A and B are shown apart, each in its own frame.
Chain A
């Protein structure tokens, strides 16, 4: 708590929360998103860690209610008349509907895979939900309570904002593209008349797009984004700017889409996440979830920059942000979603890893209050490690943290040139890191025997270009990384049984003979290398996928848990889909015997792999 009023609820809670469940013992609330009721009398906080929606009195800053929702809630939206509240449950694949007055749960609505953001159309009839793992947007008829269609979004569709005529959707993983090309993302535009995608605003050289906000007149939109410089060796960190922490400005006020930086020279705005635009369109606010700050942006100046003759070059100009960023205000750890009061005088900031909500006086530009959401009294090693994971403070000039590449503790869909050995050498695909503690060794060449090596000095030296991680911090960081759980696998049937195609695929995965009856050498069977609980024998193997630019053809056998989610594939990310692993990169049957399979059988094998 850096300033302002702290409302300790330990003693007051029993009185204020009479009849309400308390926070789950032993679990950190992890506030991730916030919203205000239409009359401004309630602040709603989505607590991802405790599966709760928490209601706060914005005057007293006291928690007045807690309501259990689904698993891992992520986003919140209110109906236009404020009578209904909707919360996405990212691990339940549902949306909880609550009564806006009583906070009673009224319905549970279906959504896609890992719903994150949502918004209700201006008529209060249609709910749009961005589904991260199914890469689409659910269109839900609120009267019927049913999903009427899915629209193709960008990969990792996550956040939305609407202006009545349109809904704009961002996505955190870049769309599939050619190997070693600049990442391509988009802002998907849905016209709300027919609920169809009518445009995709191109975000070239962009990945990791987070929240998006629109001005009330609908003429200006802002999205928080990253411009990763993954095609050149990370050695350039020492020269500054491994990620371009930036925003995309779009709409009639600007004309087209313009990317503008939030970073400053030697003062980076790491991992921008939340966005809000003042009702009078004077200012915008963005959170830096890695730098623990809120940026205050003068919109008149921002639009002027976005309309300037040099607008297309400003994205790579570290001096540009001085034109429009008027202040950066320190807040709690890992600030995420934000919401403005209806009059724009207060900004509420969900500090994800502090279990607090900061209250910013927008006129004064300072924090005037902090809402405590009550978590465990003890900050355990995992929690400390999680804070380190999301913080940029260990990297050179505080440019980025682990979470810049492992977005929300997952991956980023990019292949990186990490090594200080010249351009294009030893390209590495960014693996998912869920449930990896028992999958050592690490790194694609197996060079790191344990997480201490993987996350410690080598990360300091080769990634962060710093030497600031203390042993105690490293232990905490590893405790957190080892605790990252697997997301639910949506390809498995509810009872755990396999579909007919998955069963056939399993037989292929485990087969010991080719279709002509000849034996497959043990080391060339899928299930030999990909064995055990995590589908890795933790050995090195030459499966013929090494490139001339790799220093060694020996590749660490990767774990396959939740492999379906983490395209691209192979050690260098050269396979854009699971299919390409075998249709393109296995001509000599060195990566398992697959060339005797017909296409049907390869499809079956892939259906099985998706269940792992």
Chain B
């Protein structure tokens, strides 16, 4: 936070409505296969963690680890997506795409399937399709027919094929193309459209809110017809008509470097940055992290008027460098560079943690 910090009561700033958490952190000491946790995915009471050295499942208070010896495509698990229909888990790794279903791993690689590339950064399952973001373009698996379609510079407006993230809904599918903005697929018309930074491939923002904030996109989240885009130079929100951009200097974002954005309902949105976990409720912002200097637990609040305050907290996520989040009811799970954090929601109505 570069703005002056006002030490005010929560009530004065309206921060009481922002979620507060008691953080429990998991590392290799508790059974994670690696502290570098790239992704987290919740399926009911099961929590999946994708780490640099295997896939881990937390259930009934215990961790279970899966490695390539179990059938996992690669030890480095970059992203996890749940098929909400079947509850199969789709696993993006540095060595292909795996599906975990009822205890069985099925692996799809560029050699044994139509997957375009084994470096898989993102995956999304919706209906009969699995959408995949790879280092050599996007692709789509039709689960019913087994057909793989590839989307790249030859059949879409994509000029950079390094796709980093994908989000799929009933009407639209969006790819975050690292260095190439955002690609939109219209499910009905089967047509593609790209969204790019109107200021080109520069770090300048000449005309804010006139388009995507930057070409280097890292994550997309599409909920209730609202698209959120995370970039390495700020965040963007697009409602199908207007863009709104968010920067560290004029929002509650703790950093312009974003690894992931995940929207709850199009308005309430979580941001995974290199300087902490941020939350935006449409007016107010909150940041959860160990303080950058003292590493003491910290919760910062920025109200609608732009005033910033610090909320006294006893715990914080495991690390500032956040890769991603997943909600579990009122709770949140956070993948960080040094462990997985469970944010247990503090019921503020009672005034008790």
Show the binding face of A for B, using Cβ within 8 Å.
112, 134, 136, 148-152, 175, 186, 188-189, 194, 196-200, 490-491, 501, 576-577, 579-580, 583-584, 598-600, 602-603, 606-607
Contact = CB atoms under 8 A, between A and B. Distances in A.
A188 B147 CA distance: 24
Given A152-B88, A579-B112, A199 B102 contact: yes
A189 B111 contact: no
B274 to A, nearest CB: 34
Interface string B73-112: 0000000000001111000000000010111101000111
Contact of B150 (A150, A152, A200, A603): A603
Contacts of A189: 102
A607 B147 contact: yes
Given A189-B102, A196-B86, A200-B104, A603 B149 contact: yes
Contacts of A577: 112-113
B136 interface: yes
B148 interface: yes
Contacts of B143: 136, 150, 152
* Secondary structure class of chain B's binding surface, majority of residues: loop
18 contacts: A112-B144, A136-B144, A149-B85, A186-B104, A189-B102, A196-B87, A199-B102, A200-B101, A200-B103, A490-B145, A579-B111, A580-B111, A598-B154, A599-B116, A599-B136, A599-B150, A600-B154, A603-B114
A199 B86 contact: no
Contact of B152 (A136, A579, A600): A600
A194 B128 CA distance: 18
A189 B101 CA distance: 11
Contacts of A186: 104
Contacts of B102: 152, 188-189, 196-200
A577 B109 CA distance: 11
Contacts of A576: 112
A298 B144 CA distance: 42
Contacts of A152: 86, 88, 99, 101-102, 106, 143
A196 B144 CA distance: 17
Contacts of A149: 85-86
Given A152-B102, A199-B103, A600-B152, 16 more contacts: A134-B144, A136-B143, A152-B86, A152-B106, A175-B104, A196-B102, A197-B101, A200-B102, A501-B147, A576-B112, A579-B113, A583-B110, A599-B116, A600-B154, A603-B150, A606-B114
Contacts of A150: 86, 128, 143-144
> Shortest 7 CB-CB distances between A and B: which pairs?
A197-B102, A603-B114, A196-B87, A583-B111, A149-B85, A600-B150, A200-B102
A130 to B, nearest CB: 15
Given A599-B114, A599-B116, A151 B152 contact: no
A197 B111 CA distance: 27
Interface string B121-154: 0000000100000001000000111011110101
Nearest to B114: A603
A110 to B, nearest CB: 11
Interface string B153-171: 0110000000000000000
A603 B148 contact: yes
Contacts of A606: 114
A197 B148 contact: no
Contacts of B86: 149-152, 196-197
A598 B139 CA distance: 14
Nearest to A131: B144
A440 B152 CA distance: 43
A579 B144 contact: no
B36 to A, nearest CB: 30
Contacts of A580: 111-112
Contacts of B154: 598, 600
A81 B114 CA distance: 46
Given A196-B86, A501-B149, A599 B104 contact: no
Contacts of B106: 152
Pick from B85, B102, B150 the residue with the most CB of A within 10 Å.
B102
A264 to B, nearest CB: 34
